[in-house]
Copies of this chain bind each other. A is one copy, B any other.
Amino acid sequence: MSAKSDPGRSLALLWGSHTRPGRSGLTVRAIVDAAIELADTEGLDAATMRRVADKIGSGTMSLYTHVPGKTELNDLMVDTVIGELYTGVDDPAGHGGWREGLRYVAERNWDVSLRHPWLLDATGGRPTLGPNAVLKYEAELRVLDGIGLTDLQMDSVLTLVLTHVEGVARSHAGLARAQRDSGLTEQEWWRATAPVLERVMTGHDFPVAGRVGEASSQVYQASADPVHAFAFGLDVILDGVQRLID
């Protein structure tokens, strides 16, 4: 019987208080905070066990006394930053109607994705279901409660909005990372790419793509504009939800 991917172990760790220090002051909290700080400034890849240990001045393997493995550390990181979403700010359900509420939910999620871009890399697969994740689910669902949707529709609408935010945030994070890695801003990269692309495309015929791509890149000065995509898509989705409610 392998202890691999035992849901219980991970859940117990997530819902535990994990504040008891070891005899050299090592804490789960400190480990998670160090990992988050590394991921914030240098990306999720930088949050390796060795570098986390170095950052808090302990040996690498000491971390395994407090955290079963890398996977569980990631889960803890995720639930921790999810906790930032609605603590110390307004309750989403108190933002006027469902439309303003949903927009607020989208904006809060967008903000946290900007502060912690690695969140998107760490969340694939089954959901984490830590205390803050459940709290988030509760706060966001309340926006849609009592406006004439079934329970299933409430869940579906929320999923739709969150999927959209996650998608455009991922796009944004991808471009930011590309910019950091390559040293080229979006404008510079596009100015370098466009001519090559044009030269290589001669001979083929892409009438609509040429026209629309030209127009878009003129406005964006890039290949895409996640900020615009966020706002545009959110408006369209909210209009669609409006029709669903009617």
Contact = CB atoms under 8 A, between A and B. Distances in A.
Interface in A1-59: 4-5, 7-8, 11-12, 15
Nearest to A160: B233
A38 to B, nearest CB: 20
B215 A151 contact: yes
B229 A156 contact: yes
A170 interface: yes
Interface stretch (A62-70, A72-80, A103-111, A235-243): A235-243
A189 B125 CA distance: 12
B228 A193 contact: no
Given A7-B196, A196-B7, A163 B174 contact: no
A223 B138 contact: no
A224 interface: yes
A134 B159 CA distance: 30
A243 B124 CA distance: 33
A223 B151 contact: no
Contact of A164 (B126, B135, B167, B204): B167
A138 B196 contact: no
A5 B163 contact: no
